[in-house]
Structure 1
Amino acid sequence: MHYVSVEALGKSFGVKPLFENISFHVEEGDKIALVARNGSGKSTLLRILAGKETADSGTAWINKEVTVALFEQDPVFDEKGTILDNIFYHNHPVINAIREFEAISEEGDPDKLTDAIVKMDDLGAWDFDAKVKQILARLNIHHLNQAVNTLSGGQRKRVALAKTLIDIGFDHKHVLLIMDEPTNHLDVEMVEWLENYLDQQNVTLLLVTHDRYFLDAVSDEIWEIDGSELFVYKGDYQNYIEKKAARQESDAATIDKARNTYRKELEWMRKQPKARTTKSKSRQDNFYKVEAVAKQRIEDAQLELSMKMSRLGGKVIELKKVYKSFGEKPIMKGFDYTFKKGERIGVVGKNGVGKSTFLNMLQGLEPADSGKINIGETVIFGNYSQQGLVIKEDMRVIEFVKNIAESFPLASGGALSAAQFLQLFLFPPEQQYTYISKLSGGEKRRLHLLSILFRNPNFLILDEPTNDLDLPTLGVLENFLSEYPGCLLIVSHDRYFMDRLVDHLFVFEGEGVIRDFPGNYSQYRLWLKDKEEGEKETQPVKQEVKAAPVKEAEKKKMSYNEKREFEQLQKDIAKLEKEKETITEQMNDGSLPFDRLQQLSVRISEITGLLDEKELRWLELSEFNA
């Protein structure tokens, strides 16, 4: 089925064209990742397809049978409403019943809950409610009556993602799911769950993401907007890199050939031939075509930069028996570590276990409760935090960088000017005089990162540096950091980024425990999986209790009360086994609400315990003669 047709689409902001003359088609079942530099209009293009913005030129046709669901980087909410209000915003009997049931479940009123359950039964809403429960649980969304205007940035993104996923699962036969950086603010477990969830859903997908493992997992082709053209690459990210390199090499050869031809034809044109024959007119027309090709520039996002780093002495950072807690919550318990020159360490762990506190303590921004943190005299920190770019007043990009330094020293003895350094980080000369307020969110992040690196630190701390950065910028950053001679400490949920750059990990396991894992992120995930499977295999298996063989002659006779107890036990055991079987069937049905599942889970544990006790007593009594 044909979903989308786009012909000659164009959009500009002021005099700057975001994209021009873009054409493409989307068919049912397509899984497409959209790649382009920040500021090239990726988010704008997605919003045009979702009907949130209009194009300046061209047409965008969406099949009337297709429902478009858009997940944006900056989600829009009803700020006065609760999480529940924002997630269940459709006015539909099933949605209304689920909204009512979830709200009453939070309140805990048993009478109202009974009525809500009856309504859910009548509408057959339990299957969809089970899917809703799974999404909310996996994205760690609780307290549904909380107002959205009290949520943190990360919580807002997760609520918006839940809202989108619930929307596509509701009564829609044909869905075009458009996602703009869906993995930002998600931990690795959430990202891996989202990969599996999208793979199982019958949706057509168009997304923008910087997470290359996620990109490979959920898409099967990559579209790149480069200038006014759109290039399509079938396959994974590695294939895209290889095919793009081949295309650029071919383009470079074409441009070189055109430049040679241009020099020859330019000499002919300057002679101003008097004859206006058909042949000379054709040659003039061809000259302008050759000129257009010859004057093209190929901008390659590769960076090789040998920096002259500020000298790092023998003593870097030393931590001795460091303790840190927030109230009753321990962050570090007697942590010891001595940093060495050139270390490349990843910091991982669930949100709230103290990763950011650890980074602040290293820089002397947060005191330890006890122990010592000794920082070498030659250490110069570069701290890229999630706070983002902070400027007192609006200024041009080049002015902002020059206020830090006029040039960047190189190991070869030379230096790069502020303008040259900006160009290496994908800020062309014409954009360097743009006001910072006019930059896109991703461009501001890139400028913030550049400003940290331009200060030439020898101990670099990067806290979630890949959020909102495009893939070309990530390529530049990774190339820079792979040659970086100083110490590198990275907090990131980007598995590809971590795998490429770090040698070992500090794993914050909670309760003040920090594990030093000798390997990269993917190796740690595999180790963790093997460990969990090993623990399951080594769990003690419950052995069947058997009565010891006793000679018939040695058996004692039951008393009257024991005989009655024995008969009652047989009835009780049969009744409990029947109840256990019934509950097991209910739990396997998959249509029960989460609260009911919890109740049944508790009951089945109670039944198992009672069965153990009664069966053991039955075995004891069975040794007697009736």
Structure 2
Amino acid sequence: MAHLIGLESIRIVVGSRLLLDDVTLGIEDGTRVGVLGPNGAGKSTLLAALAGTREVDGGRVTRAGGTRVAMLTQADDLPPGTTVRQAVHGHAPEHEWASDPAVRDVHAGLLGDLDLGADVATLSGGQRRRVALAAVLTADADVVVLDEPTNHLDVEGVDWLARHLSARFSGRRASTGALVTVTHDRWFLDAICTNVWEVVPGVDPGGGRPQVPGGVETYDGGYAAYVLARAERARQAAVAAEKRENLLRKELAWLRRGAPARTSKPRFRIDAAEALIADVPPPRDTVELMAMATARLGKKVIDLEDVTVRYPRPQGPDGRAVGEREVLRKVTWRLAPGERVGVVGVNGAGKTTLLRLLEGVQAPTEGRVVRGTTVQVATLSQSTHELDALADLRVVEAVAAVGERVTVGGKELTAAQLVERLGFTRQRAWTRVGEVSGGERRRLQLLRLLMTEPNVLLLDEPTNDLDTDTLAAVEDILDSFPGTLVVVSHDRYLLERITDHQVALMGDGSLRDLPGGVEQYLQMRREALAAQAGAPVASSVRAGAEASAPAGAEAGALSGAERREATKNLARVERRMDKAAQAVERLHARMETVSADPARVGELAELGRELSAAQAEHDALELEWLEAAELLEQ
């Protein structure tokens, strides 16, 4: 694969803080890299250095001749007075870009509901974000750098983006370019990434001692492989703290017991994972939680009975409302004690309206909402503005102001203990609320909510601004929540992780149950869109994904004979890999035996060379296995 961009021993300093030091990385043609790390570790700064929009303070950034880079930042600086068409395509004539099938796919996926002649200043924040993303995806670039591209996209939009990027950077053509993305969406990471970079933050020990700079650790595979590999590294090095180890073990248990699609990862990693999680219980004790929820809630929670909600349409030229828009129509839904349900749907389908009905802050136009007498509802909204009034309090004080103690998973925790459990270090726990980051504000918002000990918890896009480690900690706490949980989110991984089933608002006023989960919802949406366009749609999810791929891109489908041959090749590689692993184990055993005998110490050097060669062969076979497995997944 051709080399595109290289970082050689780079150093990045922000203010007085040494953010990254001695970092060496490379971007090759056909690679798709996901960048992870806690808030403030330097992920966005690393992307800016890669894209050339920020100078490094040491080392150098190299770029192959003619390599073009397009970057999506978190700030959408679209100048007022610019139309959507100009923001995406500049002043290029329409015939130049409208004839490109990939560009048409971007328009259909991101701009289908927008007027190309509209001023970007009139758009909502989510619409502006989609315009900025479309501009990057249609740019003539070899390397595409995306900082949080899934923000403001619904489940369907994230699914489209994953399929579009996978088709564009599939590695099936001679030159495909490369992708680097920062995202907290773990399903998206697993769907598109071939490698993961984890930005490890530096440490300031204080007391005048020198800072320990941050760095970047690299992993092969998507998010699931990253979790497995990181757990293995932590276990083998014995440096992970017990709290982090428990979280990783629980996450591994979920990965192996969750959706089948997530287990189609390298087999050579799965055996080690099985041994690691053999004694780990399921993420939730459903029977115990149900019993506790029934005791706290009684038999009735919240019932929606024939509920209809209508809103006035936007005003017409004469200043009067033009009819009404029906968001929900004759919806009957009964929440049970301990039920854990995820809600998906297109933008504007009524997800937030549904939460407001459950919360009791909105009355239905028709029908009624019946609530149990012991119901105590708490809602995590998308905005954190309620924390503005607490700007002068410390984080611990803001949590203790709600409650001093709370019971989580059968254990009583103080406010300080709960703050630490959700990722605030002792130093950050005593930081003023007005000085914490966006992700920390989100964590604080959830902490204050949990301290009220509600028995019905409503979460509206809870993953916004949270890094993956914090998400795992939040999920761990929600696993032990003994009440009814309703989650609206575009984060597919989160929905499958913390809820037991999902429902969908289809945009036609109906609420549909999804026995097949999010995959069923996406298939229903594809069928609905195809029916509107009068085009046939494939019945399987895989066929649906291929039907939506950009025209002109290689479908990647294998014939029957090719698939049989690829399957045989995969089995051959697995057998060779097993033999190579056994050889490595035998050499390790021989080295242990020889090292225990002083008379044979001279043999260690030769055994070390044999072990290096055997390990190199095993590593090469792992790479061959990954390539063969990827071919079968096409």
- TM-score, with length taken from structure 1: 0.67
Contact (CA 8 Å) 1:380, 1:457: kept in 2 or not? yes
Contact (CA 8 Å) 1:302, 1:479: kept in 2 or not? yes
Instruction: Kindly report which structure 2 residues correspond to 1:407-426, keeping only aligned pairs within 5 A, or say none.
Output: 407-410=405-408, 412=410, 415-426=412-423
CA distance in 1, matches of 2:117, 2:523: 38
Equivalent position of 2:216 in the other structure: 230
- Give the residue type in structure 2 aligned to 1:190: G
CA distance in 2, matches of 1:534, 1:329: 22
Q: Which moved more, 1:240-249 or 1:140-149?
A: 140-149
Unaligned runs of 5+ in 1: 90-94, 99-119, 256-295, 540-589, 592-626
Instruction: Kindly report which structure 2 residues correspond to 1:1-80, keeping only aligned pairs within 5 A, or say none.
Output: 1-80=2-81
CA distance in 1, matches of 2:246, 2:463: 16
* CA shift for structure 1 position 207: 0.8
Instruction: Kindly report which structure 2 residues correspond to 1:425-444, keeping only aligned pairs within 5 A, or say none.
Output: 425-444=422-441
User: What's the secondary structure of 1:323's corresponding residue?
Assistant: strand
* CA shift for structure 1 position 350: 1.1
- Give the residue type in structure 1 aligned to 2:438: G
Question: Cα deviations across residues 540-593 of structure 1 (Å, max 9, x unaligned)?
Answer: xxxxxxxxxxxxxxxxxxxxxxxxxxxxxxxxxxxxxxxxxxxxxxxxxx89xx
- Give the residue type in structure 1 aligned to 2:188: F
Are residues 417 and 52 of structure 1, via their aligned partners in 2, closer, same or farther at CA, if it must alter by over 3 Å?
Answer: farther
Equivalent position of 1:611 in the other structure: none
Instruction: Kindly report which structure 2 residues correspond to 1:63-212, keeping only aligned pairs within 5 A, or say none.
Output: 63-89=64-90, 95-98=91-94, 120=95, 127-128=99-100, 130-139=101-110, 140-167=112-139, 170=140, 172=141, 175-201=142-168, 202-212=176-186
User: What's the secondary structure of 2:82's corresponding residue?
Assistant: coil
CA distance in 1, matches of 2:446, 2:460: 11
Instruction: Kindly report which structure 2 residues correspond to 1:263-274, keeping only aligned pairs within 5 A, or say none.
Output: none
CA distance in 2, matches of 1:311, 1:419: 25
Question: Cα deviations across residues 33-53 of structure 1 (Å, max 9, x unaligned)?
Answer: 111111211112112222333
Equivalent position of 1:116 in the other structure: none
Contact (CA 8 Å) 1:136, 1:142: kept in 2 or not? no
Match of 2:307 among 319, 322, 342: 322
Instruction: Kindly report which structure 2 residues correspond to 1:467-506, keeping only aligned pairs within 5 A, or say none.
Output: 467-506=464-503
Contact (CA 8 Å) 1:397, 1:436: kept in 2 or not? yes
Instruction: Kindly report which structure 2 residues correspond to 1:349-368, keeping only aligned pairs within 5 A, or say none.
Output: 349-368=345-364
CA distance in 2, matches of 1:151, 1:135: 18
Are residues 163 and 528 of structure 1, via their aligned partners in 2, closer, same or farther at CA, if it must alter by over 3 Å?
Answer: closer
* CA shift for structure 1 position 385: 1.5
Equivalent position of 1:507 in the other structure: 504
Q: Which moved more, 1:80-89 or 1:15-24?
A: 15-24
* CA shift for structure 1 position 342: 0.4
Equivalent position of 2:389 in the other structure: 392
* Mapped pair 1:457 → 2:454: yes
User: What's the secondary structure of 2:138's corresponding residue?
Assistant: helix
Equivalent position of 1:602 in the other structure: none
User: What's the secondary structure of 1:335's corresponding residue?
Assistant: strand
Contact (CA 8 Å) 2:155, 2:345: kept in 1 or not? no
Question: Cα deviations across residues 278-320 of structure 1 (Å, max 9, x unaligned)?
Answer: xxxxxxxxxxxxxxxxxx9985582989999893233211222
CA distance in 2, matches of 1:53, 1:451: 38
Equivalent position of 2:588 in the other structure: none
CA distance in 1, matches of 2:229, 2:395: 33
Question: Cα deviations across residues 116-137 of structure 1 (Å, max 9, x unaligned)?
Answer: xxxx4xxx66534x54333122
CA distance in 1, matches of 2:534, 2:364: 40
* Mapped pair 1:332 → 2:328: yes
CA distance in 2, matches of 1:16, 1:456: 39
Contact (CA 8 Å) 2:144, 2:178: kept in 1 or not? yes
* CA shift for structure 1 position 425: 0.9
Larger radius of gyration: 1
* Mapped pair 1:214 → 2:181: no
Equivalent position of 1:562 in the other structure: none
Contact (CA 8 Å) 1:9, 1:59: kept in 2 or not? yes
User: What's the secondary structure of 2:389's corresponding residue?
Assistant: coil
The percent identity for this pair of structures is 35
CA distance in 2, matches of 1:246, 1:419: 31
Q: Which moved more, 1:302-311 or 1:438-447?
A: 302-311
- Give the residue type in structure 2 aligned to 1:204: A
* CA shift for structure 1 position 423: 1.4
- Give the residue type in structure 1 aligned to 2:219: Y
Q: Which moved more, 1:303-312 or 1:32-41?
A: 303-312
- TM-score, with length taken from structure 2: 0.66
Are residues 454 and 49 of structure 1, via their aligned partners in 2, closer, same or farther at CA, if it must alter by over 3 Å?
Answer: farther
Are residues 497 and 97 of structure 1, via their aligned partners in 2, closer, same or farther at CA, if it must alter by over 3 Å?
Answer: same
CA distance in 2, matches of 1:323, 1:332: 5
Are residues 162 and 532 of structure 1, via their aligned partners in 2, closer, same or farther at CA, if it must alter by over 3 Å?
Answer: closer
* CA shift for structure 1 position 20: 3.5
- Give the residue type in structure 1 aligned to 2:233: R
Are residues 17 and 441 of structure 1, via their aligned partners in 2, closer, same or farther at CA, if it must alter by over 3 Å?
Answer: farther
Question: Cα deviations across residues 124-173 of structure 1 (Å, max 9, x unaligned)?
Answer: 66534x54333122213521222222211211110111010111xx3x4x
Contact (CA 8 Å) 2:311, 2:327: kept in 1 or not? yes
* CA shift for structure 1 position 363: 1.2
CA distance in 2, matches of 1:351, 1:538: 23
Question: Cα deviations across residues 583-626 of structure 1 (Å, max 9, x unaligned)?
Answer: xxxxxxx89xxxxxxxxxxxxxxxxxxxxxxxxxxxxxxxxxxx
Contact (CA 8 Å) 1:346, 1:506: kept in 2 or not? yes
User: What's the secondary structure of 2:198's corresponding residue?
Assistant: strand
User: What's the secondary structure of 2:238's corresponding residue?
Assistant: helix
Instruction: Kindly report which structure 2 residues correspond to 1:562-601, keeping only aligned pairs within 5 A, or say none.
Output: none
Equivalent position of 2:339 in the other structure: 343
CA distance in 2, matches of 1:193, 1:523: 15
Are residues 354 and 164 of structure 1, via their aligned partners in 2, closer, same or farther at CA, if it must alter by over 3 Å?
Answer: same
Question: Cα deviations across residues 18-68 of structure 1 (Å, max 9, x unaligned)?
Answer: 433322222222211111111211112112222333344443333342111
RMSD of the TM alignment (CA)? Answer: 3.3
Unaligned runs of 5+ in 2: 169-175, 202-213, 251-282, 313-323, 537-550, 553-634
CA distance in 2, matches of 1:433, 1:317: 39
- Give the residue type in structure 2 aligned to 1:377: T
Are residues 198 and 450 of structure 1, via their aligned partners in 2, closer, same or farther at CA, if it must alter by over 3 Å?
Answer: same
CA distance in 1, matches of 2:47, 2:185: 18
Contact (CA 8 Å) 2:12, 2:56: kept in 1 or not? yes
- Give the residue type in structure 2 aligned to 1:371: G
- Give the residue type in structure 2 aligned to 1:520: G
Instruction: Kindly report which structure 2 residues correspond to 1:609-624, keeping only aligned pairs within 5 A, or say none.
Output: none
Q: Which moved more, 1:72-81 or 1:420-429?
A: 72-81
Are residues 531 and 480 of structure 1, via their aligned partners in 2, closer, same or farther at CA, if it must alter by over 3 Å?
Answer: same
Contact (CA 8 Å) 1:39, 1:443: kept in 2 or not? no
CA distance in 2, matches of 1:166, 1:353: 28
Question: Cα deviations across residues 227-247 of structure 1 (Å, max 9, x unaligned)?
Answer: 423221112322211111111
CA distance in 2, matches of 1:36, 1:502: 25
User: What's the secondary structure of 1:311's corresponding residue?
Assistant: helix
- Give the residue type in structure 2 aligned to 1:502: T
